[in-house]
């Protein structure tokens, strides 16, 4: 992956993070990006990274909830 592609994927990741937080569906965001001429491969790569981050955050929150303190 060259620097230009890496920067583009980072921009797409930011786009997904911002708009998913606003409540837009993944499918609507992918459709919007494709219709704007973005590469499907770059879109899917960015989405894959963002979803992995979100899953990691969820797992960390779940682990925190499951901590039992014994006194």
* pTM: predicted TM-score of the whole model, two decimal places: 0.76
Region label for 2, one of left (φ > 0), alpha (ψ between -120 and 50) or beta (otherwise): beta
Domains of the chain, by residue range, sit at 3-65
CA 71 to chain CA centroid, Å, is: 40
pLDDT in tens, 32-60: 999 999 999 999 999 999 999 988 765 55
Q: What is the pLDDT of residue 1?
A: 78
The average pLDDT across 3-26 equals: 96
**Within 13 Å of residue 33, how many CA atoms lie on the same side as its CB?**
26
Q: Are the C-beta atoms of 43 and 34 separated by less than 8 Å?
A: yes
pLDDT band at 62 (very low <50, low <70, confident <90, very high): low
pLDDT in tens, 7-18: 999 999 999 999
> DSSP H helical segments within the chain, as ranges?
3-21, 26-35, 40-65
């Amino acid at each position: 992956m060259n620097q230009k592609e890496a920067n583009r994927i980072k921009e797409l990741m930011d786009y997904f993070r911002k708009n998913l937080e606003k409540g837009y569906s993944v499918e609507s965001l992918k459709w919007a990006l494709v219709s704007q001429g973005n590469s499907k491969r770059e879109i899917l790569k960015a989405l894959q990274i963002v979803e992995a981050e979100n899953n990691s955050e969820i797992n960390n929150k779940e682990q925190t909830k499951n901590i039992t303190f014994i006194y």
